[in-house]
Amino acid sequence: MVEDALAPSRGSGNGLRAQLLRRKPVADLVADSGRGQGGELRRSLGLWQLTMLSVGATLGTGIFVVLGEAVPLAGPGVALAFVIAGITALLSALSYAELAGMIPVAGSSYSYAYATMGELAAWVCGWCLMLEYGVSVAAVAVGWGQYVNELLQLLVGVSLPESLSAPPGDGGILNVPAAAVVALAMVALLGGARESARVNTAMVLIKTATLVLFCVLAFAAVQDGNFSPLLPLGMGGVSAAAGKLFFSYIGFDAASTAGSEARDPQRDLPRAIMLSLVLVTVLYCLVALAAVGAMHWTEFEGTEAALSKVLGGTTGSVLLSAGAIVAVASVVLTVLYGQTRILFSMSRDGLVPPMFSRIHPRTGVPRANTLLVSGFIAVLAAVVPLGELADATSIGTLFAFALVNLAVVVLRRRSPELHRSFRAPLVPLVPALGVLSCCYLMFSLGAPTWLAFGAWMLLGLGVYFAYGKRHSGLAG
C-alpha cells in the first residue's frame, strides 16, 4: 500500500535516527489539511483567486524594491539576470506544481518534505520558510515606506523625517511606514481568506496597470547609449544580481500555502503556480528593459524607489509611486498570509505551539497566529535595513526550493502509484537542474548572508530539539 510505504516510524523505531526520519503519510497530511484547534480553514478560493494570490505575492517586489540594488551589479544586462532567476524559479515551480496537486495542504514545501524526507528535513524546510516568508514581508514593507516618501515629495514637496522612515542602520530610529503596512495587511487577513483575496485581486489589477503604464512611458524615453556596455561587470555581476532578484520570484509558491482553502486544489494549484510565474516573468523583463533604456544604469545606485526616479517628476511618476504603494502592499498581504499558513501546518503537526493552529469560529482564520506573526514582522520591518533582509530571504528560499525538487524525485520512486494532477517533465533531470540552479544562486550570495543563514539554522535546530521533537504529533 502507498500509505504503508509512507508510514511514520513507530514502535520499534524509537531511536534518535528513527525519530528524525519519521514521515507523515500523504493520506494523513491531506486528511488533516485544514483542521486546527477549534475548527477548520474554509475552502473558498478558486483558480482566479489562487492565481492572483500567487501574482500578488510575486509581482512588485523585485521591480519596485530590489531593482535599484540589482542594476548596479548587472548593468543593462539586468533583464538577463531576471531571466536566470526566472529559469531557476521555473525549474522549482514545476516541482511545486506536481507536489501541490498531489499533496494539497497549507504547509507547502514543509508538508512535502514531511511526506518524503522525514521530520527533521520538514522542520528545516519549515524553518527556512519562516525566513523566506516572514523576513520577505519585512523587506518589502521597508521598500513600501520609500515609495510613500516618494509620493509625498512629488505631491506636496515634503517627506517623512528620516528618523521615522528609516531603520537604525540607515540613519533613522524607526521605519514607521513599514510597520504600518504590515498592520494594514494584518487587518485584511483577520477578515477571512475570501475577503482578503478580494482585496488582493483589486490591488493586483492596479499594480499590473501601473507597470504597463510605466513601460509605455519609459520605452518612449529609451536612449540607445544606455544599453552599452551591456554587461559592464561581466557575467559575475549578472549572477550576483540574479541571486538578489530571485527574491522577486518567491511569491509563486504562495498559492501552495492556500492548499487547505482552495475549492479544487488538485486542479487549480498547479495551474495557478505556472500561470503566475509566466505572467510575472514577462512583466519583470519588460519593465527592466524599459527602466535601463530610459535611465543610465549608473544612476540606479542607492535608490529603493527606482522606477519613480526613472520617470522623474512627471505626472507618470506620481501615478507610478501611487501604484507602487498598492503593489508593495499587495505583496505584504499575500506573503504574510503564506507565513501564517506555514505556521498553522507546523502547529497542527505539534512542532510549534498549538496557539498557531487555533481557528477563530466566526472568520475561519488562525487569529492568534496572524496577530503574533504580524506583530513580530512589524517590529522587524521597523528596525532592519532592506538589503540585509532581501539577501537573507533569498538564501532561505533557495534552500527550501532545493528540498522541494528532491521531494519530487523521492515520491516518484517511493510511491509512483499516487495520483498526480500535474507531472513535472523529465524527472529526475528537471528536479536535478532545479537543485543545481538553486545551489548556484546560493553560492553567488555573500559571506555575511551565509553566516546569517548558518546562525538561523542553528537556532532552528535548537528550537526543534527543545520543543518540536518532543511535541511532534508522530511522537506517540
Q: Model confidence over 130-165: pLDDT tens digits?
A: 887 777 777 778 778 777 887 888 788 888 887 887
Q: Supply the DSSP symbol for 65.
A: I
Q: Is 17 exposed, middle or buried (0-12, 13-18, 19+ CB in 10 A)?
A: exposed
Supply the pLDDT for residue 14: 67
Element (H, E) at 190: helix 176-190
Determine contact, residues 162/171, Cβ cutoff 8 Å: yes
Determine contact, residues 234/53, Cβ cutoff 8 Å: no
Q: Is the peptide bond before 177 cis (omega within 30 degrees of 0)?
A: no
C-alpha 361, offset from chain centre: 28
Q: How many CB atoms lie within 10 A of CB 257?
A: 32
Supply the pLDDT for residue 307: 80
Cell numbers placing 323 = 501604484
Supply the pLDDT for residue 62: 65
Supply the pLDDT for residue 35: 83
C-alpha 381, offset from chain centre: 16
Supply the pLDDT for residue 412: 92
Cβ burial 415-447 (10 Å sphere, 16+ → b, else e): beebebbbebeebbebbebbbebbeebbebbee
What Cα–Cα distance (Å) separates residue 194 from each residue in 43, 143, 276? 9, 27, 19
Sequence-distant (6+) residues with CB within 8 A of 185 are: 137, 329, 332, 333, 336, 374
Element (H, E) at 163: helix 162-165
Supply the pLDDT for residue 304: 63
Q: Which positions of the chain have pLDDT values less than 50?
A: 1-12
Angstrom distance (rounded) from CA 349 to CA 474: 8
For residue 224, the one-letter residue type is: D
What Cα–Cα distance (Å) separates residue 251 from each residue in 137, 235, 313, 331, 345? 11, 26, 31, 8, 18
Comparing C-alpha atoms, which of 36, 51, 38, 12 is closest to residue 268?
51
Cβ burial 317-334 (10 Å sphere, 16+ → b, else e): bbbbbbbbbbbbbbbbbb
Cell numbers placing 22 = 519519521
Q: Which residue has the cell 501564517?
A: 340
